[in-house]
Homo-oligomer: A and B are copies of this chain.
Amino acid sequence: MAAPRRPTLADVAREVGVSAKTVSRVLNEDGPSSPETRERVLAAVARLGFQPNLMARNIRVGGSDTTVGLVVPDLGNPFFGTVAGGIEDTVRDRGLTLLMGSSADDPAREHALTRTFLARRVSILMIVPSVGADHSSLRTQRSAGLPVVFLDRPGARLATDSVVSSNRSGAYEGVTHLIAHGHRRIGFLGDLPVKLYTRRERLAGYRSALADAGLPLDRALLANAHDEAAAAGATRRLLGLAAPPTALFAGNNMLALGVAAELARLGRKDVALVTFDDVPLAEVLEPPLTVVAQNPAELGKAAAATALRRLDGDRSRARTVTVPTRLIPRGSGEIPGPARTR
């Protein structure tokens, strides 16, 4: 059973007895066509099961593929999945499809994926940049008209559009919330690596919240972790200090899980906690988790909208869109601190 070659436009044309161009016209509702040939063409298309080859079409028509190339650190992280969903929702009726790959936050893998996407001639390129990645090589593409958008974090050495969360003010709001409830020693659990944009921004928010409240910055209260287990360990360490914090601020959803789990294991319901990023079951924890929620779907939508405008010819200078975060008080952040309980 030899695989029968897929039917082409020419096959349909031969079947009907017209030229390929006529078939093309009918299918794309391009120029005029007599109702009769139209009907015969459509019949033949159905009979043969013909499906136009999009690659061939794209290569002829514009040169670029009708896809959005998206590089994320991790496909399994629902944050990025939701971002992707927001992008898809926005570009779907422009006929664009999502081409996705994960970088594992490795600049080399990110670069390889980017190259593949460029080789595929994606219509839009979106990247959640890895720490240490250099994006200067995209400059040519960008000035040649390819919309490039950085997501969640700005890229390096390339002036282009970015869409990020209000990391700094969100963290500021979360920490200020803790201060308002009487806490004066607040532990900060940050992402790794320490150069990571989101970590730096959130830490900056933490610092200015302390400063604005006239509280000193105690470096002993700063900790780092890049996974749940490490976050749990860091939590233990912080709480074991001679002068321990009475509240904690966790820098992302992964860390939130680790910290919340460790507090539960330790039975420390007296320690206040606010986390950056919402997590499932946050309301069910005891106490329910107070969070600074991001809006990943909106992040994706904003990025897609920006890119589509570029595609439509917007040549204005690079913009950074900031998607607001939202403090959701649920209980863990309202546990009173010494300045209140006293």
Contact = CB atoms under 8 A, between A and B. Distances in A.
A49 interface: yes
A115 interface: yes
A84 to B, nearest CB: 5
Copies in the complex: 2
Contact of A82 (B59, B76, B100): B76
Contacts of A322: none
A284 interface: yes
Contacts of A116: 54, 97
Contact of A78 (B76, B115, B285): B76
B261 A120 contact: no
A63 B4 CA distance: 13
A55 B51 contact: no
A59 B51 contact: no
A55 B121 contact: yes
Given A6-B63, A78-B81, A85-B75, A97 B99 contact: yes
A284 B85 CA distance: 29
Given A75-B81, A81-B77, A85-B74, A55 B49 contact: no
Interface in A292-328: 296-297
Interface residues of A, number: 57
Interface in A46-68: 49, 51-56, 58-59, 63, 65, 67
Nearest to A285: B284
A264 interface: yes
Interface string A67-100: 1000000111110111011001000000001111
Contact of A59 (B55, B115, B145): B55
B55 A65 contact: yes
Interface in A253-305: 257, 260-261, 264, 279-281, 283-286, 296-297
29 contacts: A4-B144, A6-B144, A49-B140, A51-B119, A53-B63, A53-B121, A54-B116, A55-B55, A55-B59, A76-B82, A76-B297, A77-B81, A81-B81, A84-B100, A88-B102, A97-B99, A97-B117, A257-B280, A257-B284, A260-B281, A261-B283, A261-B284, A264-B284, A279-B280, A279-B281, A280-B280, A280-B281, A281-B281, A285-B285
